[in-house]
């Protein structure tokens, strides 16, 4: 893994396009011989679904840019969109809903926090920039 | 038919096993999943078991659709899960939704009378 790899994907703000982009991303990571880490696809899926549903409020004209790169600590995934800003200017802390209430959602941010080792959000020039870092070999 | 999700079923005495013939229950599949589950369970008078052996990925939308399927079961009728792959089991554990379902390791256990 001495070679530095990076790749950029552009995705329409629809659930199906998110699925295809995730599959492209995991394929690329496999091409780079990055050990499979299921946390990555889950965290990126949750973050991209949030962008589709909340930042772009299901407007399919929105575009999401996904930059994946190998860094010394492991893997960095950066998502960029031009939708609505995060309500409090920061990522939600994320609390797991109580199982006994039979929730049908609300796990997204908790799963993102649980799956990645570093999380950074910034709103710059009308864009949301969310970066997730995954350390290697945590399986 | 991109993004198509298909559910098939096998009936046993007192039990309907519902097989997910797709590798993902994600945001793109959640509504189809819920609708097909409703069609397969809304007149059931006995237990259903959801066979997830083919599913390698679920996200929170997919999990939400499974919970919605549980909530739309006829009153007093169980929906169990069976044959979870490790990555799917992890999502259930992380969200603690593994406490809500009876989860069978394998279908032969789920199919045993009264599902142990």
Give the residue extent of every domain in chain B: 7-106
Q: How far is CA B32 from CA A89, B23, B27, B93, in A?
A: 34, 14, 10, 24
CATH number for region A6-135: 3.30.565.10
**Nearest-by-CA chain A residue for B99:** A99
B90 closest CB neighbour out of A38, A103, A104: A38
Mode of pairing for the β-strands spanning B79-82 and B47-51:
parallel
Q: What distance in Å separates residue A103's CA from the closest CA in chain B?
A: 7
pTM: 0.93
Query: What integer is the mean pLDDT of B5-15?
Result: 94
Q: What is the pLDDT of residues B51-60, one digit of tens each?
A: 999 999 999 9
Provide the pLDDT for residue B115. Answer: 54
Provide the pLDDT for residue A3. Answer: 61
Question: How far apart are the C-alpha atoms of A22 and A25, rounded to whole Å?
Answer: 5
- Of the candidates A61, A78, A60, A62, the one whose C-alpha atom is nearest the C-alpha of residue A70 is A78
Q: What distance in Å separates residue B78's CA from the closest CA in chain A?
A: 14
Q: Does the structural domain B7-106 have CATH classification 3.20.20.140? A: no
Question: How far apart are the C-alpha atoms of A62 and A136, rounded to whole Å?
Answer: 32
**Which residue has better confidence, A6 or B1?**
A6
Maximum Cα–Cα distance across chain B? 39
Lowest mean pLDDT, pick from A36-40, B19-23, B102-106, B112-116: B112-116
Query: What integer is the mean pLDDT of B17-31?
Result: 97
């Amino acid at each position: 893994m001495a070679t530095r790899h990076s790749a950029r994907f552009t995705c329409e703000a629809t659930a199906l396009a998110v699925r295809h982009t995730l599959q492209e991303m995991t394929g690329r990571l496999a091409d780079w011989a990055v050990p499979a880490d299921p946390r990555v696809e889950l965290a990126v899926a949750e973050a991209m679904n949030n962008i589709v549903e909340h930042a772009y409020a299901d407007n399919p004209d929105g575009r999401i840019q996904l930059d994946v790169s190998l860094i010394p600590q492991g893997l960095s995934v950066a998502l960029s969109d031009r939708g609505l800003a995060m309500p409090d200017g920061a990522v939600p802390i994320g609390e797991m809903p109580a199982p006994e209430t039979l929730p049908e959602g609300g796990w997204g941010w908790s799963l993102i926090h649980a799956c990645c080792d570093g999380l950074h959000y910034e709103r710059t020039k009308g864009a949301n920039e969310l970066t997730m870092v995954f350390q290697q070999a945590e399986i | 038919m991109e993004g198509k999700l298909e559910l098939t079923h096998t009936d046993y005495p007192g039990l309907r096993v519902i097989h997910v013939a797709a590798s993902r229950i994600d945001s793109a599949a959640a509504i189809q999943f819920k609708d097909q589950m409703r069609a397969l369970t809304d007149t059931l008078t006995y237990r259903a078991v959801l066979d997830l052996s083919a599913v390698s990925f679920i996200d929170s939308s997919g999990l939400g659709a499974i919970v919605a399927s549980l909530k739309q079961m006829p009153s007093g009728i169980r929906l169990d899960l069976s044959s979870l792959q490790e990555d799917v089991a992890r999502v259930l554990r992380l969200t603690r939704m593994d406490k809500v379902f009876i989860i069978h390791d394998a279908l032969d256990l789920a199919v045993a009378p009264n599902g142990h």
